[in-house]
Chains A and B, each alone.
Chain A
Amino acid sequence: MSVVTTPHISSNGKVAPSERPAIAEKSAELKKWKSWQRLLFRIAFIFFISISIPNSPEWYKIVFNIDWTNLHYRDLYDIARFGSGINFFGNSIFGNALLGYANWITTLLLSIASGLVWTLIAKRRKTERNEYNILYYWLRVIVRYRAGIGIIGFGFTKLLPVQMPYPSLGLLNTNLGDFTAQKIYWLSIGIVPWYQVFAGVVEVTAGTLLFFRRTTTLGAILLFGALGDIVYVNFSYDGGVHVYSSYFVLLAAFLLIDDLPRIYRLLVQEKYTVAVHIYPVFKSKWQQFARAGLKAATVFVFLILLFKLQLVNFLYDPYKQPSVAGLTTLRGNYNVTEFRINNQLVPYSPVDSVRWQEVTFEKWTTLTYKVNRPTLIDLSNGGGDPQKDINRTFELSGTGGGRRVFHYYADTVRNVLYLEDKFKAVPDRRNRAAGVGGDGGTDKNLGVVKNGSLNGREIIARKSKADNWIPAESAAVIGTELDKINKRAASTRRVREFAEPQKNEKRNRMVFKYETRDGSHIILTGVNENSDSLYIILDRADRKYALAESGLQAGKY
């Protein structure tokens, strides 16, 4: 491997003669770096390598186990999204996570220490190099591809708008003040899917530009601007992804270091500016093939294949929405015309703590109702990668207002709904591959919440009925949820998750028989989670929303 520097000073003759000495001088500079530059480089090298490679064994395990014959978009997303940095000493400094940035600081301190040791050893052994031009080149390659792949993984969930779903009926019927700030931001993007597509295009474009040397600066500027805004959004709305978005800003800033002084020289100092780039030359055939092959593979996997998988996800299995269609006759908004509990009539009241106020049947297998009684709120972002509909909680996360959200299985022969509360005090871990810096409620997702009312013991102590709560004949009609989505969306990931034993599944349950002719008038009879018998009459409400619905919505229902 040898080195070539651009511009080709002698070959194209486009340089004014008066500028030639300037280039020669610049080239000389590149041949010997100043000692502080070399030290800084060594530190930067260790730091950026550390934050560009995954640091959790779990990531390697997950990626190693990917079934490439039957992929899910999340498999590639997991490759693209990982925790990094040196974490042998945990992710906090003196017990303080410093908003999640502690790992950066630990990594930086260790990089400084290693950089000094490196310098010392090089000096002692008298093997110190004059420059690191080629190593710097490769460091930039690693950072470019890390940032590019990472942002593309993120961007595709927007380009095919599933990251911020269109609000469900239950969310549309919730007061603005009853959401968390995080939820309000996510919804504000969810209502304009075409804008989300635009944001995704920006992110994917930025990532793609980073794959090529000549467009790297443009990509880095775009990445810096877009993700800089997202960092601020996350701090303002408490979105929980501030560290991961700052990560891209940091990588983008590193990639801009060379060109910023040049822009200053050209525009502000108004001087003739020559950017000298030093690239390795690949002489042997295998080197050329390896380079082209790796590059083509990256483009194929993260631009073409991921697009296809993400499209399938958007069409049939949007990851934040339940994917199984709800009963068609029952969909819509309902007023609770009559409500009897244990045979006692309770008239409509917005202040009663038992009486249901309104009901929605969503497009998918969810029923929600509103009641004026406090309940624990799911404060996560409702994201992650759950395959089971009951664990897809965007429709309840960050949402108060007394709404209860239940998943149902419908026995359409006997007209029975088997309902389970979608709220789970200690949710399953999400974003396992990402490790730290997952999406929201991370501590809770890791099961480390230490609070008297929520220590998990209480939940387990809650007696639930025997787990075969759905009689065999109904279960036969209901079928298996695993196969209820379009075949094109099937994946090994889905199969594996459905095969896993259930953890911690102590949920509120209700069983209702439903009677209706066309869905405009429904009678529900059954028992709620406290074994109270309920008799409920629902009448469809033709609710007109001021919010103009978008035609671009994910899923097939």
Chain B
Amino acid sequence: MAIDTIHQPGKNYDSAASLQRLSWNAFAKISFRIFFIYFFIQVVPLDWKFYRDIFHINFASLQFADIFNIAHYSPWFFSGGQTYADWGIIFLLSITGAFIWTIAGNKKLKEYNLLYYWLRVLVRYRLAIAVIAYGFIKLFPIQAPYPSLSNLNTNYGDFTRWKLFSLSLGIVPGYETFLGAVEIATGLLLLYRKTASVGAFIVIIFTGNVFMSNLAYEGGEQVYSLYLITLALFVLTFDVQRLADLLVFQKPAAPVHFKPHYQTKARFYTKITLKTVFILFFVLLYGWQTGAAFYSGTGRFPQEPGLKGTTGIYNVAAFRINNDSIGYSATDPNRWQDVVFEKWNTISIRSNRPVVIDSNNVENFDDHSPGRAYELQGSAARHYYTYVVDTVTHTLLLKNKNRHYGEETLLLHYRKAGDSSIVLTGINERKDSIFVVLDKLNKKYLLEEVAQTGRQKPIKL
């Protein structure tokens, strides 16, 4: 492989925009060595844990979530994902490495144009994988699903900020799709040398906003989003001088003078093949799997259907505990206020019994039912139960889904009384016997009514 310059040097060429100098000064060389090691460690999977996770993937039935997790790589040394401390360690390693490199390296080398080129290739592909991975789970709105019935029947103040962010995005799948399309397009721009800087610029704006959202909504992807921004800044740096010359300083701007030249056909075809495989895996296969997951209804809610014909919200018309009747109460911690039967096998009960919030604020998609906890994460006021139906004995075995209440089970016999009533009898989580009459509410949601009729027509609700 050799260097191919577009412009022949030495012909009175003195544009300040020329970044690809023939000879780099000492400062440029030393900084390059530091950055090279830094970004190399940040983007190339050297972390053994990455291979451990790959080893656990069942490639025979590869899920979108598996690819998503591969795409979510960033090295970490301590526990539970990357922190800014890891950046510090990597930076110290880079300085040490650059020091050794400077002493022991080839002192005759005048520049690192070729190495710079390939480092930029690594970084932009790494960045492309990340934004495409996030793009597809928005294009097919899996990341933030439409709120569940229980979510719609929870007070605004009973959600955490992170959950409200997710719910607010979830009510507008079309907007989520738009955001996903932008991200995917950005990722594709990064795959081509000539458009990479445009892609990197969009990442800085788009992911910059994601980073600010993570700060504001106490999301869990703060470090990761800033990590992606640093990669984008690195990619953009290559062109930033010429873009500033053109757009801000209104000076003549010199184009790139360096690109790799593949001397043998074999090398050229290797490149084409690698790129094709990359696109097949991270764009086509991943996109296909994400779409398939979306259309088959797998996402962040459980998949097992609930008790047939019960979906809805119910008023708790009568409530007895150990044969003591308790009237409607907004304050009694034992008295149920309303009950939601989801389409799937989840029941949620609103009462004044406090909830220790099951909080999760990162995207976690390999969450297999019945553990799928998105519906209750970041939410108070309701207790969520997954249940198993025995249609022979007409019993429901309820298990609290919140990991703070993992031991709680209720065994309830159910009887349908008429079209819209259900009578539950059995024992609750404290082994008290309970008797509950549920009346289905014909609840209309302003959110959905207005979506149908628009905001110009008066609505009475």
CB of A472 closer than 8 Å to a CB of B: no
Identify the stretch in A130-138, A268-276, A474-482, A489-497 within 8 Å (CB) of chain B at 4 or more residues.
A268-276
Are B212 and A379 neighbours in the complex by a CB distance under 8 Å? no
CB of B156 closer than 8 Å to a CB of A: yes
**A184-B168, A268-B194, A546-B159 known; A177 and B152 CB under 8 Å?**
yes
Are A546 and B380 neighbours in the complex by a CB distance under 8 Å? yes
CB of A375 closer than 8 Å to a CB of B: yes
**Chain B residues within an 8 Å CB radius of A350:** 315, 328, 337-338
CB of B155 closer than 8 Å to a CB of A: yes
Give the A interface residue count (CB, 8 A). Answer: 92
A30 and B443 CA atoms in complex are apart in Å by 67
Tell me, rounded to whole Å, the shortest Cβ–Cβ distance linking B392 to chain A.
Answer: 34
Identify the stretch in A87-95, A318-326, A439-447, A527-535 within 8 Å (CB) of chain B at 4 or more residues.
A439-447
**Chain B residues within an 8 Å CB radius of A443:** 456
CB of B198 closer than 8 Å to a CB of A: yes
Across the interface, name the chain A residue whose C-beta is closest to B164: A188
Q: Which of B159, B168, B378, B455 meets A379, CB within 8 Å?
A: B455
Q: Which of B239, B248, B446 meets A214, CB within 8 Å?
A: B248
Tell me, rounded to whole Å, the shortest Cβ–Cβ distance linking B257 to chain A.
Answer: 9
Give the B interface residue count (CB, 8 A). Answer: 83
**Chain A residues within an 8 Å CB radius of B254:** 272
- Over the window 328-347 of chain B, the binary record of Cβ atoms lying under 8 Å from chain A Cβ atoms (1 yes, 0 no) is 11110000011000000000
Q: Which of B354, B378, B455 meets A182, CB within 8 Å?
A: B455
Are B168 and A185 neighbours in the complex by a CB distance under 8 Å? yes
- Over the window 105-121 of chain A, the binary record of Cβ atoms lying under 8 Å from chain B Cβ atoms (1 yes, 0 no) is 00000000000000000
CB of B11 closer than 8 Å to a CB of A: yes
A60 and B445 CA atoms in complex are apart in Å by 43
Q: Which of A347, A449, A547 meets B164, CB within 8 Å?
A: A547
Identify the stretch in B12-20, B63-71, B364-372, B420-428 within 8 Å (CB) of chain A at 4 or more residues.
B12-20
A143 and B195 CA atoms in complex are apart in Å by 29
Are B16 and A14 neighbours in the complex by a CB distance under 8 Å? yes
A363 and B99 CA atoms in complex are apart in Å by 61
Are B165 and A14 neighbours in the complex by a CB distance under 8 Å? no
Identify the stretch in B126-134, B171-179, B393-401 within 8 Å (CB) of chain A at 4 or more residues.
B171-179
A106 and B51 CA atoms in complex are apart in Å by 62
Identify the stretch in B54-62, B108-116, B213-221, B429-437 within 8 Å (CB) of chain A at 4 or more residues.
B213-221
**A218-B248, A259-B247, A267-B197 known; A335 and B330 CB under 8 Å?**
yes
CB of A215 closer than 8 Å to a CB of B: yes
CB of A277 closer than 8 Å to a CB of B: yes
Tell me, rounded to whole Å, the shortest Cβ–Cβ distance linking B37 to chain A.
Answer: 28
Q: Which of A210-242 contact B (CB under 8 A)?
A: 214-215, 217-218, 222, 225, 232-233, 235-238, 240
Q: Which of A176, A380, A548 meets B167, CB within 8 Å?
A: A176
Are A16 and B13 neighbours in the complex by a CB distance under 8 Å? yes
Are B447 and A177 neighbours in the complex by a CB distance under 8 Å? yes
CB of B450 closer than 8 Å to a CB of A: yes
CB of A453 closer than 8 Å to a CB of B: yes
Identify the stretch in A33-41, A165-173, A307-315, A507-515 within 8 Å (CB) of chain B at 4 or more residues.
A165-173
Tell me, rounded to whole Å, the shortest Cβ–Cβ distance linking B234 to chain A.
Answer: 17
A72 and B11 CA atoms in complex are apart in Å by 63
Tell me, rounded to whole Å, the shortest Cβ–Cβ distance linking B181 to chain A.
Answer: 10
CB of A174 closer than 8 Å to a CB of B: yes
**Chain A residues within an 8 Å CB radius of B147:** 176-177
Tell me, rounded to whole Å, the shortest Cβ–Cβ distance linking A4 to chain B.
Answer: 12
A409 and B445 CA atoms in complex are apart in Å by 33
Are A174 and B14 neighbours in the complex by a CB distance under 8 Å? no
Tell me, rounded to whole Å, the shortest Cβ–Cβ distance linking B241 to chain A.
Answer: 11
Q: Which of B156, B218, B242, B379 has the most CB of A within 10 A?
A: B156
Tell me, rounded to whole Å, the shortest Cβ–Cβ distance linking A26 to chain B.
Answer: 11
Additional pairs, 6, CB under 8 Å, beyond known A237-B171, A267-B198, A335-B331: A7-B250, A263-B243, A273-B255, A274-B252, A351-B315, A374-B461
| Residues of B in contact with A (beta carbons under 8 Å apart) | 6, 11-16, 147, 151-161, 164-165, 167-168, 171-172, 174-175, 178, 194-195, 197-198, 202, 205, 212-213, 215-218, 239, 242-243, 246-256, 315, 327-331, 337-338, 354, 357, 378-381, 443, 445-448, 450-451, 454-461
22 sampled A-B residue pairs with Cβ under 8 A = A7-B252, A14-B251, A172-B155, A175-B155, A176-B153, A176-B447, A177-B448, A181-B171, A185-B168, A194-B215, A214-B248, A214-B249, A235-B175, A238-B451, A263-B246, A266-B246, A267-B243, A277-B250, A350-B315, A375-B460, A379-B458, A454-B458
| Residues of A in contact with B (beta carbons under 8 Å apart) | 6-7, 14-19, 23, 167, 171-182, 184-185, 187-188, 191-192, 194-195, 198, 214-215, 217-218, 222, 225, 232-233, 235-238, 240, 259, 262-263, 266-275, 277, 335, 347-351, 357-358, 374-377, 379-380, 398-401, 425, 440-441, 443-444, 449, 451, 453-454, 541, 543-548
What 8 A-B pairs are tightest by C-beta distance, nearest first? A177-B152, A172-B157, A195-B216, A236-B175, A400-B446, A177-B445, A188-B168, A192-B216
